[in-house]
Each structure stands twice: as structure tokens, then as C-alpha cells.
Structure 1
Amino acid sequence: MTSRTQKYDVIVIGGGAAGLGGALALTRFRRSVLVIDDGTPRNAVADGVHNYLTRDGVPPAEIYAIGRQEVQGYGGEFADGTVTTARRTDDGFVVELADGTSYQGRRLLVTTGLADVLPDVPGLAERWGKDVVHCPYCHGWEVRDQAIGVLATSSMAIHQVQLFRQLSDDVTLFLHTAPDPTEEQWEELAARGIAVVQGKVEQVEVADGKITGVRLEGGRVIPRQALAIQTTVRARAGFLADLGLETTMVEANGVEVGTAVQVDARGATQVPGVFAAGNVSSPMAQVMSSAAAGLMAAGGINFDLINEDTRQAVAARSS
């Protein structure tokens, strides 16, 4: 293990919007900050980030590159690598990377995001982030006026299909493994002209690098140009286990959507000194709100450090 002797005020684990947002605020407050990033953001497959004021449509990598430059401009440092474990010490934390390198920090800000688990349907993965999408706010405009399919795996699809109906007159709900709509929902779907197809989806048809249709068990193919899906999300936080910090299941409208790290309004976790922000603690957060959450957590961390610095100064003055 290679240990770096410098001890940082804050180690930020994850270099996406939340991590960079937090790091920027902390470096501007003259905190020593190290950002550790493995270079695998959730939105890497997306052509552009949307609903990010002044940066709409900009590729994710470009936004993160600008963010890094801004953080470095205030003295922030970066390390490339994957954190595998974090341990508490007498005066803070030690984090260890996959290559054996370790760093010390007084506080941790976890912004590692999440991983999307796609439904087990052939054809989805290869078109993920292109014409297979999940968020109508993030990618709906890009598939507007197309023949859109919504692949249902839970009752949440009823809400999702109504959102996509705002963007196209040609929307089909594939019930797949989801429960049948209620009588009221059937009426609502019919009223808005949303076609409903029962039966399991066998695969997504792809030709010339584009979705051409959805194949049902039995062979019937429904032509489609884009497909909206529901993913199960998993917080990327396994390295926190040695701190006794585990993820919890998150529900939306009674449906389990995945796991997250629980935080309070300041971004503080149940482990003193460990904060979290972005998708790792809020699965529904978009890029802009994740950056804002990183800023809020940075404020909580800075205040926490000021309190500690003050206690130490009082103790030193009294000795």
C-alpha cells in the first residue's frame, strides 16, 4: 500500500456533477480537497446533458472537464482510481484505491452515483442512452414525434407513458412484466390515444444502428423508433461497508426503484464525518440538481470543520 502523507480537509469520492460542485465550493473556502474519480460516470453514454441551464446539450465529458479546471483553479487536486474501502482513524478517514494507494482526509464527500440495471431484454443494452432512454425530462425532446414504445416492468410505467405522450402522438405501452392497469388507468390511456400491448417482449429489433421495432413472444413485431424503459438503480457505495454505512431501498409510489445512501438535509449520513450527494443518495436527481446537492453538502462539511477547528483552537488556548 502506498500512503500519501498529506492529509486533506476533504476527500471527494466521485468526480461527476455532485462531486465537482462540492469540491468547487470547498476549495473556494480555502479547504484542501482531493477528488478521486474512476472515470465512469452514469451518463457517459449520453450525447449531451439536458436541463442544465447555460450548458444544455453539452456532452457530459466536456462539462466535467470544465468543472475540473475550475476546481484546480482554486487549488483542488485530483487522483484517478477506484476507491475500494474507507476506514475511520483517530482524526478522520483513510481511503484505499484498487491499486493500493491510500489517502487521508478529515471528512468524506461520497458522490459516486449509481449504476443502472436494465431489463433483461436482448437489444436494450446496445442502444442504451441513444434510442433506448429512461427519463423523459433528460431525453424526451430528442425522441419527440417519433413512434415511442414504453417497456413496462412495474406500475410506474403508467406515469412514464403519460409523460412520453406529451412528446409524441404515437406512443405504445408494452405491459411486458408489469401488472395490468386499473380500470381507471385503462380509461385514461384510451382517452389519450395510448396503445397498450399485452404479452412479454422477447427482444428489441435493431437494424443499421437504430431501433426498428419490438418483438413479442410469438414473433409479432410492433414497429418503433425509440423505447423508454425503467431501470433498477444501485448506489455505488460498497466501499463504505467498513464504516458501517449501508444502502437502503428506495420506493416511488409503492414501487422499489433501487438503493441509495440515506442523508439528511445537509447531506450528512448516519456516520459522523461522511457526507453524500447526487445520485448515490438521490436516484431521481438530474445533473443540475446533483451539482446543487454537492454545493449544499459542501456547506455542511465546511460548517462541521469550522466547529472542529474552533473546538481545537479553544482547547489549545486553554492549555
Structure 2
Amino acid sequence: MTGQLENSYDVVVAGGGAAGLNGALMLARSRRRVAVIDAGRPRNAPAEGVHGLLARDGMPPAELLERGRSEVRHYGGHIVSGEIVGAVRENDSFTVTLSDGRSVRARRLLVTTGLIDELPDIPGLRERWGNDVVHCPYCHGWEVRDRAIAVLSTGPMALHQVQLFRQLSDDIVFFTDDRPEPTAEEAGRLAARGIRVVPGKVTGIEVGGNGITGVRLADGTVVAREVVAVGTRMVARTDFLNDLGLDATEHPAGIGSYVPTDATGRTEVAGIWAAGNVTDLSAQVGASAAAGAAAGAQINADLVEEDVRAALAARDTAFDAESEARLAESVNSTRGRGI
């Protein structure tokens, strides 16, 4: 990335992941002045590869992002390393402030800052996150197939999650983690597919030389496991938007917080769009990139309308000035003839 940052742009993109870069690509190809400001903390940084992305399956996340940055730069977009800490509205534009004191004006904002995965407070989870502690069967499932998998009941989607991982391995254990045990109906669904239920509070993850070896319970029992699947609380990165009145909202499914948008990516605050995980908590890389592209196109269309209005106003002003000049010339000519 580069530190190049001009005083003003048509659009500032907050966040340089798949959504932000694809949005910037669409805008730059439309000859918009665009800057992507990225703090360099991608959610998928611990992962070895991006999965489920057509023609790019398995590509390391860092390589995918660098290709995207190169494409944006090719069309004149700027990629700036920095952390946005604040944004305020000034008349019809926004002023965005970075942590190093720099600031920049933008006619529109595209928010693609993603989210933070908040893990349960269980020793060992964070250290193995992105390796043999996983959360998404579509992102990591193939890589842990046929292994001994523990699924922790740490979120509202746990019973759904455990069935998805059962599709990938015959050896699945569901840990209630001191939460209410499954209902009779839920227990029946688990038993029908051979999923064992282990009650009791989970107090830690056992790790050996090559990775996870088991899940430890409060009574000292250790259940041998190789992989732990866990639901995280997904929290949108939106603190810098507080002064604009755009706060993250609790997700209806209870899985975290997000920024609501309409189908075009437009938020409730005029001039601000959002795309990717900041608004769609479950979106994978491909869906995030597509949403960023769609939002970029919508922003460009919105700017076009503003440009048309400005051009019409300028034409009308010029016409009025020309009319006044002609009238004044006519009056002066009449006076000169003594009429």
C-alpha cells in the first residue's frame, strides 16, 4: 500500500478487503476519484487460503488483496494505509480523519470495514483461531473433513452449525458448554445423525505438539478432539461513524451487530453506503466482493445525478447572466439614441 492521499475525492472507501476493493474498482473504472483507506487488519488473515471463490479457491488472502489493490491502482484509484478514527459531515460532503492526523474530504463514503470475531472466553481458542479452531463449514469445512470435530454451543446458530459440520465428518461431538441441553426434538435430530452430546462447562482447549488434542470440561474430563468449531459474536467495525449517527444495530438473529442497508447498499444516512461483512455478517469473500461492486455502481449513479443537477444549475445561472447582460445592453442602446 501507499501513503498517497490527496485533499479530496469523489468517494472514500473505508476498508480494503474484497468489498472495498471491488467497490473502488467499479468507481475507478467509471473515472471517479477514489481512495481506499485500509488499516491492514483483514478478518481472514489467519487463514491459509480463500475458499469457495470461483477460479481463486485456495489463494492466500494476502495475495488476493494485493491483486485487487493492483487492479484499483491500474485505473487511477489510490490505496492508502491508515486507520480512520472519525468522520463528520460538512455541507454536502464528508471529512474523514485518520489516526495519524491526516484528513480528507469526500462526496460519498463506502463503508467496508468488516467485522471483529469475538470468541468465547475459553483458554486456547484464540491461539488456535484460523487453524484448528474454525467457525464456517463453507470456509474451512473441506480442510477438516473426516476429523474428530467438537462443536461448542456458543451461539444462537450452534444447532444449525453442528448439522453442517456433520456433513463433513462422522465423528462429531456437541458440547452444551453449561448451556441448556437440547430439547427432546433437538436431541432427536442430533441422535438421528449420530452426533454425541456432552453436557458440562468447557474450561479449555488441550493442545499438543501438532495442534488440538481435546476439549477440557469443568470436572476435569478431557474429550479427545482434533478440531473445534465455535460460533463467534460478529461485531461490525463502525466506531468511526458515531459522529454521523450511523451506529451498528443488533442483528435479528442474535449473532452480533451490523449496519443495516437497503438492497443497493445505501444506509439510513444520506451519502453513505456499506458492503461486505459490516452489513452482511455471514458473507464470504465472493459475496462481499459482489456487494462492493454493486454499491460502487450505485454510488457512481448517485454522483452522476448530482453532477447533472450541478450542470443544469450552472447552465441556468449562465443563461440568466447572459439574459441580464443583453437586457442591460438593450437599455444602454436605447438611452444612447435618446429614446
1:150 aligns with 2:148: no
User: Is the contact made by 1:36 and 1:82 (CA closer than 8 Å) also made in structure 2?
Assistant: yes
TM-score computed with the length of structure 2 as normaliser: 0.91
Cα-to-partner distance string for 1:215-246 (whole Å, 9 max, x where unaligned): 11111110000000010011100000011111
Cα-to-partner distance string for 1:129-166 (whole Å, 9 max, x where unaligned): 00000000100001000000001124421111100000
User: Is the contact made by 2:150 and 2:228 (CA closer than 8 Å) also made in structure 1?
Assistant: yes
For 1:155 and 1:78, locate their aligned partners in 2 and report how far apart those are by CA, in whole Å: 38
For 2:259 and 2:144, locate their aligned partners in 1 and report how far apart those are by CA, in whole Å: 32
For 1:269 and 1:133, locate their aligned partners in 2 and report how far apart those are by CA, in whole Å: 31
Counterpart of 2:208?
207
Q: Which amino acid aligns with 2:37?
A: I
Give 4+ residue runs of structure 1 displaced > 3 Å after superposition: none
Cα distance change of structure 1 residues 155 and 246 upon mapping to structure 2, 3 Å threshold: closer
1:74 aligns with 2:75: yes
Counterpart of 1:26?
27
Q: Which amino acid aligns with 2:245?
A: G
| Shift in Å, 1:249 | 0.3
Q: Which amino acid aligns with 1:313?
A: A
Percent same amino acid at aligned positions?
Answer: 58
TM-score computed with the length of structure 1 as normaliser: 0.97
| Shift in Å, 1:191 | 1.0
Counterpart of 2:297?
299
| Shift in Å, 1:206 | 0.3
| Shift in Å, 1:61 | 0.5
Counterpart of 1:174?
175
Cα distance change of structure 1 residues 85 and 155 upon mapping to structure 2, 3 Å threshold: closer
Contiguous gaps of at least 5 residues in structure 2 = 318-339
For 2:174 and 2:26, locate their aligned partners in 1 and report how far apart those are by CA, in whole Å: 44
| Shift in Å, 1:179 | 2.3
Counterpart of 2:138?
137
Of residues 262, 265, 268, the one that matches 2:266 is 268
SS at match of 1:112: coil
User: Is the contact made by 1:123 and 1:204 (CA closer than 8 Å) also made in structure 2?
Assistant: yes
| Shift in Å, 1:209 | 4.2
- Identify, as 1 or 2, the structure richer in strand: 1
| Shift in Å, 1:97 | 0.3
| Shift in Å, 1:196 | 0.4
User: Is the contact made by 2:155 and 2:232 (CA closer than 8 Å) also made in structure 1?
Assistant: no
Aligned residues: CA RMSD: 1.2
Contiguous gaps of at least 5 residues in structure 1 = none
Cα-to-partner distance string for 1:250-279 (whole Å, 9 max, x where unaligned): 032xxx110011111110111110110000
Counterpart of 2:337?
none
Which of these two proteins has the greater Rg computed from alpha carbons? 2
Cα-to-partner distance string for 1:78-108 (whole Å, 9 max, x where unaligned): 1111000001112311100000000111100
For 1:290 and 1:88, locate their aligned partners in 2 and report how far apart those are by CA, in whole Å: 27
Of residues 275, 279, 282, the one that matches 1:277 is 275
Q: Which amino acid aligns with 2:145?
A: R
Q: Which amino acid aligns with 1:273?
A: G
For 2:259 and 2:155, locate their aligned partners in 1 and report how far apart those are by CA, in whole Å: 23
Q: How does 1:74-93 map to 2 (within 5 A)?
A: 74-93=75-94
